[in-house]
Structure 1
Amino acid sequence: MTFEEMTARIAAGEGFIAALDQSGGSTPKALKGYGIEEGAWNTEDEMFGLIHAMRQRIIESPCFGNGKVIGAILFEKTMDGTSGGKPVPARLAERGIVPFLKVDKGLEDERDGAQLMKPNPGLEDLCARAKSLGVFGTKMRSVIKANNPVGIKAVVHQQFAEGVRIIASGLMPILEPEYDITAADRAEGEKVMLEAIHEGLGALPEGQQVMLKLSIPKEPGLYTELTRHPKVLRVVALSGGYSTEEACAELSKNPGMIASFSRGLLQDLRHRQSDEEFDGTLGAAIDQIAAASVA
């Protein structure tokens, strides 16, 4: 797929974006969920080998290429690996799935009710390498934990500032200012965040676009206006700790948003499942998440 074909696929595709981007810190938890306990590996390379084998199994499953998964977000080591005998981004594109790359370097300590992203001086070099491998876009995550306008605006401002660097590198940025779904003041804080996002979009030059990855809002339909904004290619939802069933039920209340789930996609997969059991379990999750995304 060309960049233009990928843009059209993401803009109008009926389906969702799979999040396969667990990084070093979250990999042991992801493997435990897959049924591989910590201690099953001796080195970091062995750990990443196990998680890559899981991702290969997902990517090569027949149901993953059935048209309902329109994109996939990758961890850097996954991007650099292979699946089906080809570089992962090329293999995904071959299956009609648009590749994205997680590019943030983790979170700073909490301040003003939020966690900003750590500095990322090598971002342009990483984007150039990703583009050379056929990656379409990027994803980077911050976290908002309280309705503190100072922290919320700092998170959104940083997301847009980094997004501008990514656009200049020729890739499509997914901005992810995640609002903690357990925050007691989330309904009010999400409105503050929405206003800050509109300010960021207003500052983007005409003709430039971003994507947004947001927690499913407390108030259904809150982000519908963003799904129609000319500077937003697509609005996707993270599962944020919800189970698959909960996340799909909440997502279906929000027209225009599509899923970009990790836990919600992977929660019932186990490494000891036969290929038939694995494909059946993954296929059922894909069907359920895709249905909620087009509801």
Structure 2
Amino acid sequence: MNTEQLNRMRSGKGFIAALDQSGGSTPKALRLYGIAEDSYHGEEEMFDLVHSMRTRIMTSPAFTSEHILAAILFEKTMEREVEGKLTADYLWEEKHILPILKVDKGLAPVENGVQCMKPIPGLDELLVRAKERHIFGTKMRSVIKEANEAGIRAVVEQQFELGIQIAEAGLVPILEPEIDIFSTDKAESERIMKGYLQEHLAKLDDSIQIMFKLSIPDVDGFYSDIMEDTHVVRVVALSGGYSRDEADQKLARNPGLIASFSRALTQGLNVNQTEEEFNNLLRESIDAIYKASIT
């Protein structure tokens, strides 16, 4: 494990840019960027377009390590190049931003009020390839929709099982048991989930280092004690459907919690903007999210 990168993630100022839209979410991301689905044909052309969008973001003068600690990448992005370098190498060598890889294959159907992850076939091989591509860590997402004990326990168990496998392979896993912000019993789900997180953290070997990506809690400072656990490198927050302004306001009320935003980061960016317009709007977004992350 790269000690410089680990220390930067543990104590650096900034936030994580989530640029990891996968096959299912890419059409929506492109649509929000101003590219309609009827303007491209087939998956390959779609991924070419979204890589161009991500490249425009990553190469922007607004996208710097002064405000951004890491960027989360989709698997196909890891295998592509930015300005003649593999994406992870470009991020670290040119921008000093840590590359993180999304490894999950999407969500299983709802059961007991939650969506666990689908199986991840070939995970060991993917982790080997990620290390060869100089990836720092990974991210994988589940969703909790109801305060159901059995469902939440299953989500946390799956996240930790795979997280340990990833940590033992030499990468830092981000466990993301997202709680739906529109859930009517979100606060109760947070209470139940936190108990299971603490239970599993207490069982970890001393050598295991992990991160969490969590929905911004209803109770300010709710995850402060999780942040203090010796196994936890960092706790980051997803925007989860909030607007950028609302997500920033909620985040700022939770000291130590930093952003890992996707939609809130790219909100308003458009393929038809001039470079000046694009960079200025991206800079405004980055500045606002950064300020909320260091509050």
Q: TM-score, normalised by structure 2?
A: 0.98
Match of 1:140 in 2: 140
Deviation of the 1:226 alpha carbon = 1.1
Report what 1:67 is aligned to: 66
1:148-227 pair list within 5 angstroms: 148-227=148-227
Report the CA distance between 1:3 and its aligned residue: 1.2
Instruction: Tell me how far 1:121 sits from its aligned partner.
Output: 2.6
Which residue of structure 1 aligns with residue 285 of structure 2?
A: 285
Q: For 1:56-89, what per-residue CA distance to the aligned partner results, in whole angstroms no more than 9, with x for missing partners?
A: 0001001102520110000001111111211100
Describe the superposition over 1:142-166 as per-residue Cα deviations: whole angstroms up to 9, x where unpaired. 0000000100010001000000110
Give the corresponding residue for 2:110.
110
2:6 maps to amino acid? T
Give the distance between the partners of 1:163 and 1:228, measured in 2 at CA: 19
Q: What does the per-residue CA deviation read over 1:105-132, in whole Å, with 9 as the maximum and x for residues that have no partner?
A: 1111000000010111311100110110
- SS in structure 2 of the partner of residue 39 of structure 1: helix
CA contact under 8 A between 1:101 and 1:130: conserved in structure 2?
yes
SS of the aligned residue for 1:259 comes to: strand
1:152-210 per-position Cα deviation (integer Å, ceiling 9, x unaligned): 01000100000011012111000000000000101111010000000111111013110
Q: Note the C-alpha offset of 1:43.
A: 1.1
The amino acid that maps onto 2:184 is: A
Q: Secondary structure at the match of 1:24?
A: coil
Amino acid at match of 2:129: R
1:96 alignment counterpart: 96
Tell me the secondary structure at the aligned position of residue 63 of structure 1. coil
The equivalent of 2:28 in structure 1 is: 29
Distance 2:26 2:253 in 1: 31
- SS, match of residue 234 in structure 1: strand
Aligned to 1:44: 43
Q: What is the identity, as a one-letter code, of the residue corresponding to 2:100?
A: F
Contact 1:28 1:38 in 2 (8 A): yes
Is contact 1:138–1:172 with CA below 8 Å preserved after alignment? yes
Distance in 1, matches of 2:188 and 2:5, equals: 35
Query: How many angstroms apart in 2 are the aligned matches of 1:277 and 1:9?
Result: 31
CA distance, structure 2, for counterparts of residue 108 and residue 233 of structure 1? 28
Determine if contact 2:152/2:192 at 8 Å carries over to the other structure. Answer: yes
Q: How many residues align?
A: 294
Q: Name the counterpart of 1:275.
A: 275
Q: Are the counterparts in 1 of residues 168 and 208 from structure 2 also a CA contact under 8 Å?
A: no
What is the alpha-carbon distance in structure 1 between the residues aligned to residue 30 and residue 135 of structure 2? Answer: 25
Letter in 2 for 1:28: P
CA contact (8 A) 2:100 2:135 kept: yes
Residues 17 and 259 of structure 1 are in contact (CA less than 8 Å); yes or no, is this contact kept in structure 2?
yes
Shift of 1:268: 1.1
- State the Cα deviation string for residues 234-256 of structure 1 (Å, max 9, x = none): 00000000010000000001111
Tell me if structure 1 keeps the 8 A contact 2:175–2:212. Answer: yes
Indicate the residue corresponding to 1:262 in structure 2.
262
List structure 1 runs of 4+ shifted beyond 2 angstroms.
Answer: none
> Aligned partners of 1:269 and 1:135: how far apart in 2?
27
Q: Partner amino acid for 2:103?
A: V
Letter in 2 for 1:124: D
> Partner amino acid for 2:258?
I
Match of 1:56 in 2: 55
The gaps in structure 1 that reach 5 residues or longer are none
3-state SS in 2 of match to 1:157: helix
Q: Note if contact 2:65-2:97 (Cα within 8 Å) is conserved in structure 1.
A: no
